[in-house]
Structure 1
Amino acid sequence: MGGWRQPLVMVDSIVDYKYGDNGFIKVIKHVTFNEPYLQGHFPDDPIMPGVIIAEIFGQASEYLSFLTDICDIWEQKTGAALRNLRDIESQARGEEMLEIIKARRLKVRGVLAAQNLKFKDIAWPGDTIEVMSKLAFSDSQGFKHYAVSAHVGKRIISQGTVINFREDK
């Protein structure tokens, strides 16, 4: 769904999504032993680079905005509300939904513009990182500010704010 290609796909799966004012997205990234960026990042002590965690935050946040766009467009076209991941999945294989997704993907561009993150712990090969992103606010210049956090199990490894810039092409 996103515009990323290997080796920069940092979201393995979207596990939860909620539409609306208190909306959020939860994604998973499995840190495998053969990730290309681990080979050169502290070779004797391979840990997940913080910049890669920031990229997970950026991609998760862009998925949040993209799915929200899809829900908005669907409701405008059909009059039916999609409020969560299950609702979206129920329509995902239909021709009308596929056209909405394709058209929106071609029209919007989002980039990670800034970050203010605190790193509290480490992710190692074999860990599963769970990332949560919530839209804090949008400004009039197209910047979307997201509150983000990353956990490995119950350990919080990073949290803070990322700012994505989004525009229609």
Structure 2
Amino acid sequence: MRKHFIPPQVFLEMGGWRQPLLMVDRINHYQYGEKGRIDVIKHVTYNESYMLGHFPDNPIMPGAMIAEIFGQASEYFSFLTDVCDIYRARYDIDLQSLRDICSKIDDENLRDIIRTRRAQVQGFLAAQNLKFKGIAWPGDTIEVTSQLIFSDRKGFKHYSVCARVGKKTIGNGTIINYREVK
């Protein structure tokens, strides 16, 4: 089965992060709508800058960095939702999934929406209520799911998040991202 793929340059245009803080390696799934969600992947490597000083004799992925994955995955979800809303309003075409977005990724109209919206939106991880139940080691792949629970009028978006390594849940809870249009 062919995976849907967003080219690296477009992927970077969508996010406000660059190395060393780019914590999402790939978007595996996106579903638009009330029960929408996003699934992302982060590969944990030995040469990540934060691994060198976090338990040097026994390196593990820091919980603060997993929280950053949660925040970035959640922002990608909200950003893709914005892009889908704008595309529908302009062209009367629904983009409901990662497959739909990838089918239009070479459309300059969609790419223009992505670039313009990224320049308009800014935000940050505002709060978190997380429980860590396991460890991610170098060589592991962390799979993160984020689902929007609700948005309030002041720009705060509340997400239910979960991180897994294989079938084992290593962390879950709620995060709150603040977003505003400049």
TM-score between the two structures when normalised by the length of structure 2: 0.92
CA distance, structure 2, for counterparts of residue 81 and residue 94 of structure 1? 14
Trace 1:48-127 onto structure 2 (pairs within 5 A): 48-127=61-140
- Per the TM alignment, residue 92 of structure 1 is displaced from its structure 2 partner at its CA by 1.0
CA distance, structure 1, for counterparts of residue 179 and residue 125 of structure 2? 9
CA distance, structure 2, for counterparts of residue 131 and residue 65 of structure 1? 15
* Uncovered stretches (5+) of structure 1, i.e. residues with no partner: none
SS of equivalent residue, structure 1 residue 96: helix
What do residues 19-71 of structure 1 show as CA deviations (whole Å, max 9, x unaligned)? 00000000000001111100000001100000000000000000000000000
Q: Which residue of 2 aligns with 1:47?
A: 60
CA distance, structure 2, for counterparts of residue 83 and residue 98 of structure 1? 17
Q: Which residue of 2 aligns with 1:129?
A: 142
Q: Which residue of 1 aligns with 2:39?
A: 26
CA distance, structure 2, for counterparts of residue 60 and residue 38 of structure 1? 21
CA distance, structure 2, for counterparts of residue 51 and residue 33 of structure 1? 17
SS of equivalent residue, structure 2 residue 178: strand
1:142 paired to 2:168:
no
* Uncovered stretches (5+) of structure 2, i.e. residues with no partner: 1-13
Superposed structure 1 runs of 4+ greater than 6 Å apart:
none
What do residues 106-157 of structure 1 show as CA deviations (whole Å, max 9, x unaligned)? 0001210000000000000000000000000001110000000000000000
CA distance, structure 1, for counterparts of residue 144 and residue 65 of structure 2? 12
TM-score between the two structures when normalised by the length of structure 1: 0.99
CA distance, structure 1, for counterparts of residue 28 and residue 79 of structure 2? 15
**Higher mean C-alpha deviation, range 90-99 or range 154-163:** 90-99
Aligned counterpart for 1:38 among listed residues 46, 51, 62: 51
Amino acid at match of 1:34: N
- Per the TM alignment, residue 4 of structure 1 is displaced from its structure 2 partner at its CA by 0.3
What is the CA RMSD across the aligned residues, in angstroms? 0.4
CA distance, structure 2, for counterparts of residue 146 and residue 135 of structure 1? 4
CA distance, structure 2, for counterparts of residue 99 and residue 29 of structure 1? 27
Amino acid at match of 2:153: S
Q: How many residues align?
A: 169
SS of equivalent residue, structure 1 residue 117: strand
